Structure 1
Amino acid sequence: MAGQDSLGTLSQLDVKGKTYHYYSLEKAADKLGDIKRLPVSLKVLLENLLRFEDGSTVTKDDLQAMVSWLKERKSSTEIAYRPARVLMQDFTGVPAVVDLAAMRDAVEKAGLQPDKINPLSAVDLVIDHSVMVDKFASPGAFEENVKIEMERNKERYQFLRWGQKAFDNFRVVPPGTGICHQVNLEYLAKVVWTKEEDGKTFAYPDTLVGTDSHTTMINGLGVLGWGVGGIEAEAAMLGQPVSMLIPEVVGFRLDGKLKEGVTATDLVLTVTQMLRSKGVVGKFVEFYGPGLDNLPLADRATIANMAPEYGATCGFFPVDKETLEYMKLTGRDQETMDLVEAYSKAQGTWRDNSVEPVFSDSMELNMKEVEPSLAGPKRPQDRVSLPQLSDSFDLLMKSSGISTDDDTTVPIEGTEHKLTHGDVVIAAITSCTNTSNPSVMMAAGLVAKKALEKGLQRKPWVKSSLAPGSKVVTDYLEKAGLNVYLDKLGFDLVGYGCTTCIGNSGPLPDEVAKAVDEGELVVSSVLSGNRNFEGRIHPQVQANWLASPPLVVAFALAGTTRIDLSTASLGDDQDGNPVYLKDIWPSEAEIAEQVQLVASEMFTKEYGANLFEGDEHWQSLNIPDSLTYKWQEDSTYVANPPFFEGIDKPAAGLKDVEDAYVLALFGDSITTDHISPAGAIKPDAPAGKYLQEQGVAVKDFNSYGSRRGNHEVMMRGTFANIRIKNLMVEGSTGGVTRHVPSGDEMSIYDAAMRYQEEGTPLVVLAGKEYGTGSSRDWAAKGTRLLGVKAVIAQSFERIHRSNLVGMGVLPLQFKDDESAEGFGLTGAEKITLSGIDDDIKPGQIIRAKAEKDNGEIVEFELLCRIDTANEIRYFKSGGILHHVLRELIAA
């Protein structure tokens, strides 16, 4: 813990009779210069550098650069950041543990003890992404879904239980507990961390990185954290610092308060639209201003959660009295709360309205201007005010080549009902974003209660579900008596986890699915989630709308999104009178009355001493007692990946990419969902064909996410999203491409394999915002396994760019406003990239030459988007984990 401390900042803090040691920012300021107006998020980074100053990875110049930031409001200085801990969920956690197990094999093969591979930082993995909504709208839905989940994921869960036993500093929260971000917010996070060393108790900020984009949610509690790829998280576990440039910080001033009838969801959708329009990719956002006095911590967490959607690295809220109130509510002990307050005030990280920090840029919002909203139909930043929803759906129909006058209706087999364009077939209260917020959850229950009292009912073609982020939600809904009304509307509990939002919506009822296909209908989902990218929620649902939990209930009643809920009737009451949304919408006073029922005992009960032990299903899993994993050759869930073959030999030197073909040519906003799908595996897709060849029945496919521990499945799923559009094949949708030498059209996977047989390197061309969305390491791993040497795009999302480097794939960026389209590239060219050698530098120019099929040569320059010196080292080793292993073996 004790660093070089060249500035002499090590100090003592006495809190209620206990002495803590800490690295004082106030003493650092005496030597470096005034930091009072440094953004709080950067003060956390500065403390981290003070604590780990070693003269090598962290130098005095790095410390000075943090203070110099105040003058320029930006910096080109690269720093080595070491978070206190790592958070994982199972979709991203399984491949990470697979990599650790494979690294143990490699270390053992090199003649070393396998337990040299162990997390050095504390790691928590929460199993929350595997439950599917197979059963719904019935009292037994939860128990049935849990049973199916355990049967479906037995191999994966056995593997994770082995990891829990085999690795040090590695805890697993078993399935059925809650979503990792809500468990983190309600239990795991401490705000201020402590560590015993050399007879002293050190105090320092609780910081983390997580393998899920929405790790940012914890910033609502004043804990600095953000999502990274699984690759980068594994490196952090193994003692490697997170290499980053000192970020720009955009200040977001909040004034006023939300008006009656407006929810935290409406606020976050507004903030998301504003910040995405502003452009904050790779930047911190820090919230400040008097409006924070009117913003409960759950609302802050809702805003912080969606930082990936507005593009920021994180959305940070400093510690204040509201932080302490929430810690008290959630059952944190008094000693921890006393330390948080004393430490934050001593370090100047306590929120102080009298001091306005210096920001790189700023913007502001008066919360009284926020209106009821949704976002969609394909992107979370596309906010739509409630009255505009029907018009937005019409625009989608036009873009799909369907007339807005198309009144196609299809009978739903076995019923008297018909389905048409715009009908809601999924209504899901799900995801970490909103189910951690008692005000919107209580509001949903109150809407259900008032609707039933008016005689309204969910439309029968709507698949409805309730998947809270933690068991505490169930406790307070039951205490309020509102669970009964949600159940009567079909919002029965289906599981505790990330369901519909991650693509685990399960199948539509057969008769509804048949009607959708028969009429080629554009139907809708409405969910209280944070993601609605194409093909993510359900393969048959093209329009997906993010909304608050009470609006989810309202749209289940309406049954359609081609409606203005602010004026149109939801239906008739028992007396035949029209019922409007305003008639069933609860007042702020009614919601507040129910929120008062949320009590500390609920949290202490659900997060008791047995949290990590699991239920009888978890306990009954048989696991091997071994330091290395006993791989099962016939497993289609967990397989030993090929990444570390030949790791005991020196890395091959870097060299130019010559005469590469283009595997795919994409436009703007290609997400990691497009690159590495979640959700259902189609039987006729390469991954589906592979599973059937292995004897897996279609009904047992499970999801892409659940099979991330098997590289054979995942490389076949790369670029296989049903909505992805490869511009090399005009009019195509889905993972198809053209094998350029032959002109044959085929799946991207099959083309990549043919190119590999031919010994041909590959590149991918793309537009702006390549790799937005979830922090999926398989979007980079799959790209590498397909033989792609470089991705050339107009711009990259932060996490995916880092993941590409971490897997030895070169990210290159067009200069200024240049693009593949501007150079007339069609994907039929041979591409040569020059300037790639062992002297490669961050941000250097790479020369590109494209030879068209008519012999014409186009030459242009590209920016190397390996951004830091550390990343250069990783890239030259073949990837970040390869670098760690090579160093360990060579030591």
Structure 2
Amino acid sequence: MSLDPFNSKKTIKSDKGEFNYWSLKSMQDSGYSIETLPFSIRILLENALRNFDDFAITKEHIETLANWSPDPSDKDIPFKPARVLMQDFTGVPAVVDIASLRAEAVRKGKDPNKINPLIPVDLVIDHSVQVDYFGTNYSYQKNVDVEYERNGERYQFLKWAQKAFDNFSVVPPGMGICHQVNLEYLAQGVIARDGNVFPDTLVGTDSHTPMVNGIGVVAWGVGGIEAEAAILGQPIYFIMPEVVGLKLTGKLPLGTTATDMVLTITQLLRQHGVVGKFVEVFGPGLDHLTVPDRATISNMSPEFGCTVTYFPIDDRTLDYMAKTNREKEQIKLVEDYSKSNMLWRAGEDKIKYSSVVELDLSTVEPTVSGPKRPQDKILVREFKQKFGELLKEVHGREYIPIDKREEGRWYGEGGSQPSEKKESDLATATVEYETKVKNGLKSVVVKLNNEKFALYDGSIVIAAITSCTNTSNPSVMIGAGLVARKARERGLDVKPWVKTSLAPGSKVVTDYLETAGLLDDLEALRFHVVGYGCTSCIGNSGPLPRHIAKAVEENDLVVSSVLSGNRNFEARVHPQVKMNYLMSPMLVVAYALAGRVDVDLNSEPLGYDPNLEPVYLKDIWPSNDEIFEVMSKVLSPADFEKSYGEIFEGNEQWKNLQAPQDEVYQWSSESTYIKEAPFFKGLSDSVEEPKDIIGANVLLKLGHSITTDHISPAGAFAENSPAGQYLINRGVEKKDFNSYGSRRGNDEVMVRGTFANVRIKNQLSQKEGGFTTFIPSGEEMSVYDASQKYQKNNTPLIVLAGKEYGSGSSRDWAAKGTTLLGIKAVLAESYERIHRSNLVGMGVLPLQYADKETADSLGLTGKESFTIKGISDGLSPLKKLQVDARREDGFSTSFEVVCRLDSAIEIEYYKNGGILHYVLREFLSK
């Protein structure tokens, strides 16, 4: 059969040469209604046309896409991305897996060099830098030094991979955040390769990969498992998506930012329900949004729950490409190809969407979100009141406004409380603490040398300008600098208990802030550059200053963080900080000046100048004209040329890093960072048919919105945790633990960290954190220890969960750890897209309750023995299985569940024990 069954292959001439392309217009001329298809579906259609092989991608797949309709579909479609993006936390285990596949291939007598990335892979090291040092001009260099000291072995491994693998590039530490680097440099709009031209598409091992949708590139986050399969030539299969149209009208009012807009959209789309769907933006409001504004929206796609938030290519796209120093010939090719192939933003009125959500941008108000979910929108004007309500609702404490706090100090019901003085372990500072209580609410007066201040519930201890969500947007970064300048001019300073940090997503940001003189203003308020990475947004806030940490810990204060990030899940930003709020960089500076979140910025002063005159937010808030005037003077393509001209070189530490030269990685038994993956050793040649799950116990019974942070934490871990004990037994000191995220190349650490989040609430345990009850004995212990006892008894395990199971980051260890704990199935009310796919990719069966049924409605406590029937009879997509549950007290019930193996290929992955097992068997058979 012809590899062009629809005769769609055409040629296009450009300044870069003549190329083949697969014409959507020819499909339109053949009778398919392409003009009614959303642009994102058109790109998937082009992808299927170009990659048609009549095996993995069939004529039926193409027709399914060409005939897309707004109604839900259960049909499977394939996708072969043009490239893959990784960050180091998810990239290291992915590279470990591929290196492990090579090792197993050698053991079976095969050529290891045949296992290579088949498409370009860019890995950006951005998740490892931690804010150990802050508020000084040496912060950046000391943090970098500590980063290399902690992560040298991981970096050597990645440097080995860069040399050992074809099609694999590493962006060294300190160059930027992967999504901002992708937006500003790696993304090309369209790709010319091997005589063909086609849309730039990718998947990334980070859930915020959709950020690049803002420049017209279809991309989304997948688990490392799916990404590895794509790297090794496997199409990604998924059910045909519905496409929700987001219609924007109007323009943002004065005083609001792109961050306010995106937090508004986050709540709007969560309420509409877009999990697993595509979102495509259209409408006249789009004309007023720059590419960085659009990218701010796209970046937070996982917070909405959708797969992509796509912005079609238009004049704004080309303008951004020019400003970021893309080649003129490339920009012209993007324009010519998009216009020739029905991918240019035009004819919006003809497109049919599954549903439409509308937002009038003129209604957006200054907004924050929190304290633990991005969709929990709070208007700034209501923030103070809402804080008091949340303090009572979440933490059971009555809120007393600051004006009732008698000169900012607490006194007990019977007069003043005696001072409780404690010497700290600080080497050079004298610290005293005085705890006072009123109405059950605490304050702690901290005396540090000759400085004295009080910490309350609601005090801000972390203020972080962080995350590619906002640092990629010059308007809010320059705005933050101007807020700092005006505050400085009025004599205001950040409160002494606030840990401040500035972590730009690329060096371009530092350059334009420096050129504008605004870096000096930010540094005057202690917002010094601490590193080029995700920092607080990924949980790398570093320790609180010891005197602050001691006051918070010993007095159980409910303190807050403010950050310009995209995630504020429980215990993510910092384990001691219980309330975390997302906001624009400009508001981060403002709240750092106030030092507390319980302040009405519209009516109360941020502080007082040296003459005791009140200074309000309106006094230091720049106008849009001021921001754009600075932007026009300091933003230049030359900045992008300078920063990205040396992006792969790295600093002297990277250049001097010695890496192995072997084609097969030599695993060290002494390493606590890099260890051969256990999944592929001794892989059998044949595949056993899957069997029913008999006599399973529940390891965890969980509620709603369990995130991948709950399942597989990325932050610090304690000495007495199973992971901590493992490292101590290997001779690693606590100061060298690093984080879970940095140790994802070691399965022994990661399996012990699975379900070990300090805030996870397992209904089978009285304790908060990674604990459970071992059902046979009734003994309470760590999840890891219980799983070991169950596995020793050959008892299969399951997890019971509520809605949105696995929401959050695309964290493959959430699935890998699950399988290594002996969990055979998860039964949930609903799943977040990436985690469900990852469970399948690791051979764990995702099951879903029938509509309106839950564990509670079925009377399940988690202490039952479960049998899951219908697996051994043969599986089909979305097959219904029977579950029998029995308890020792005589309770028994039977009910049907939906087996969330959504496609034929997912059934094959499950049978093989996982997607990479399938790929390796395919390779070995050839």
Q: Counterpart amino acid of 1:289?
A: G
Give the alignment partner of residue 383 of structure 1, picking from 377, 392, 399.
377
- Tell me the amino acid that sits aligned with residue 409 of structure 1: S
State which drifts further: 4-13 or 84-93.
4-13
- Separation in 2 of the partners of 1:433 and 1:194? 29
Number of positions where the alignment pairs a residue of Structure 1 with one of Structure 2 = 883
Q: Is structure 2 residue 435 aligned with structure 1 residue 441?
A: no
Q: Secondary structure at the match of 1:545?
A: strand
**Contact 2:466–2:563 (CA<8 Å) still a contact in 1?**
yes
Unaligned runs of 5+ in 1: none
Equivalent residue, structure 2, for 1:144: 142
Which residue of the partner structure matches residue 46 of structure 2?
47
Counterpart in 2 of 1:111?
Answer: 109
Alpha-carbon distance, 1:17 to partner: 7.5
SS at match of 1:526: strand
Q: Which residue of 2 aligns with 1:599?
A: 636
1:84-483 aligned within 5 A? 84-196=82-194, 201-352=195-346, 355-398=349-392, 399-405=394-400, 406-414=440-448, 415-483=451-519
The equivalences for 1:753-792 within 5 A come to 753-792=788-827
The one-letter code sitting in structure 2 at the alignment partner of 1:455 is: G
In the alignment, does 2:860 pair up with 1:829?
Answer: no
Q: 1:729 deviation in Å?
A: 1.9
Mapped partners of 1:73, 1:27: distance in 2: 25
Q: 1:388 to 1:25 in 2, by over 3 A?
A: same
Of 880, 887, 892, the match for 1:845:
880
Which sits farther off after the overlay, 53-62 or 817-826?
Answer: 53-62
> How far apart, in 1, do the equivalents of 2:475 and 2:61 lie?
43
Q: 1:17 to 1:158 in 2, by over 3 A?
A: closer
CA contact (8 A) 1:32 1:64 kept: no
**Segment of structure 1 superposing worse, 680-689 or 783-792:** 680-689
**Separation (CA, whole Å) in 1 of partners of 2:28 and 2:682:** 49
How far is 1:645 from its partner? 2.2
Asked whether the 8 Å contact 2:35–2:347 carries over to 1, the reply is no
**1:56, distance to aligned residue in structure 2 (A):** 2.0
Show the 5 A alignment for 1:410-559.
Answer: 410-414=444-448, 415-559=451-595
What displacement does 1:620 show?
1.3
For the Cα contact (< 8 Å) 2:16–2:330, is it kept in 1?
no
Q: Quote the offset at 1:62 in angstroms.
A: 1.9
Return 222-231 or 680-689, whichever deviates more: 680-689
SS in 1 for 2:55: coil
Cα deviation 1:25-58 (Å, max 9, x = unaligned):
0112222522112100000000001101122222
Q: Deviations over 1:628-682 (max 9, x none)?
A: 1111111111111210122143223200110100000000000000000011111
TM-score in terms of structure 1 length: 0.98
Cα shift readout 1:129-175 (whole Å, capped 9, x = no counterpart): 00000000000100110011011101100000000000000000000
Mapped to 1, the partners of 2:297 and 2:214 lie a distance apart of: 8
Q: Are 1:709 and 2:745 an aligned pair?
A: yes
- Tell me the secondary structure at the aligned position of residue 35 of structure 2: coil
The aligned counterpart of 1:796 is 831
The answer to whether structure 1 residue 811 and structure 2 residue 846 are counterparts is yes
Whole-Å separation in 2 of the counterparts to 1:390 and 1:644: 54
CA displacement at 1:394 relative to structure 2: 2.0
Letter of the aligned partner of 1:652 in structure 2?
E
Distance 1:720 1:177 in 2: 32
CA contact (8 A) 2:800 2:826 kept: yes
Q: Cα–Cα, structure 1 residues 419 and 61, in superposed 2: closer, same or farther, change >3 Å?
A: same
In 2, Cα distance between equivalents of 1:353 and 1:421: 53
| Partner AA of 1:475 in structure 2 | D
Report SS of the residue matched to 1:632: coil
Tell me, what secondary structure is at the counterpart of 2:349? coil
Distance in 2 (alpha carbons) for counterparts of 1:340 and 1:145? 40
How many Å separate the matches in 2 of 1:114 and 1:413? Answer: 63
Distance 2:687 2:784 in 1: 27
Give, in whole Å, the separation in 1 of the partners of 2:119 and 2:709. 29
Counterpart of 2:68? 69
Superposed CA RMSD in Å reads 1.2
Tell me the CA shift for residue 244 of structure 1. Answer: 1.0
Deviations for 1:163-204, whole angstroms, at most 9, x for unmatched residues?
0000000000000000000000010001100112xxxx2100
Partner of 1:683: 719
Structure 1 distance, partners of 2:683, 2:501, is 47
- Quick one: which amino acid aligns to residue 61 of structure 1? E
Once residues 27 and 470 of structure 1 are traced to their aligned partners in structure 2, the CA distance between those partners, rounded to angstroms, is: 41
| 1:355 positional shift | 3.3
Q: One-letter code of the match for 2:664?
A: T
* CA separation of 1:504 and 1:31: change in aligned 2, threshold 3 A: same
Where 1:416 maps in the other structure, the secondary structure is strand
For residues 655 and 115 of structure 1, do their structure 2 counterparts lie closer, same or farther at Cα, with a shift above 3 Å needed?
same
Matched to 2:908, the amino acid is R
- Report the equivalent of 2:27: 28
Describe the SS at the equivalent of 1:204: strand
What's the offset of the Cα at 1:68? Answer: 2.2
Relative distance call for 1:778 and 1:844 in structure 2 (3 A) is same
Q: What secondary structure is seen at the aligned counterpart in 2 of 1:104?
A: helix
Deviation at 1:616, TM superposition (A): 1.3
Shift in CA distance, 20/877, structure 1 to aligned 2, threshold 3 Å: same
SS in 2 for 1:315: strand
Cα deviation for residue 838 of structure 1 reads 6.7
Following the alignment from structure 1 to structure 2, what is the Cα–Cα distance between the partners of residues 413 and 885?
62
| Distance in 1 between residues matched to 2:382 and 2:739, nearest whole Å | 34
Query: How many angstroms does 1:390 deviate by?
Result: 2.0
CA separation in 1, counterparts of 2:20 and 2:316?
26
What residue identity is the alignment partner of 2:487?
Answer: A
Post-superposition shift, 1:615?
A: 1.5
Name whichever of 528-537 and 561-570 sits farther off. Answer: 561-570
State the distance in 1 between where 2:665 and 2:682 align. 20
Contact kept? 1:3, 1:52, Cα under 8 Å: no
Q: Spell out, residue by residue over 1:565-587, the C-alpha distance to the aligned partner (whole angstroms, 9 max, x if none).
A: 12111111232211110110000
Which range moves more in the overlay, 779-788 or 834-843? 834-843
Q: Is the 8 A contact 2:16 2:333 kept in 1?
A: no
Q: 1:736 matched to which residue of 2?
A: 771
Asked if the contact 1:527/1:546 (under 8 Å) is kept, the reply is yes
* 8 Å CA contact retained: 1:32, 1:67: no
Give, in angstroms, the shift of residue 274 of structure 1.
0.4
Mark the runs of 5 or more structure 2 residues left unpaired by the alignment: 401-439
- Could you tell me which amino acid in structure 2 is paired with residue 168 of structure 1? D
> How much does 1:527 deviate?
0.2
Would the aligned equivalents of 1:653 and 1:838 in 2 still touch at CA under 8 Å?
no
Sequence identity (%): 56
Q: Is the contact made by 2:172 and 2:650 (CA closer than 8 Å) also made in structure 1?
A: yes
Partner of 1:617: 653
Distance apart, 1:837 and its partner CA: 2.4
Kept in 1: contact 2:444–2:454 (CA 8 A)? yes
**2: distance between equivalents of 1:321 and 1:3?**
37
Q: Which 4+ stretches in 1 moved above 3 angstroms?
A: 353-356
Is the contact made by 1:413 and 1:511 (CA closer than 8 Å) also made in structure 2? no
Give, in angstroms, the shift of residue 611 of structure 1: 2.0
**What's the CA shift for 1:704?**
0.7
* Counterpart residue identity of residue 481, structure 1: G
Cα distance between partner residues in 2 of 1:354 and 1:509: 53
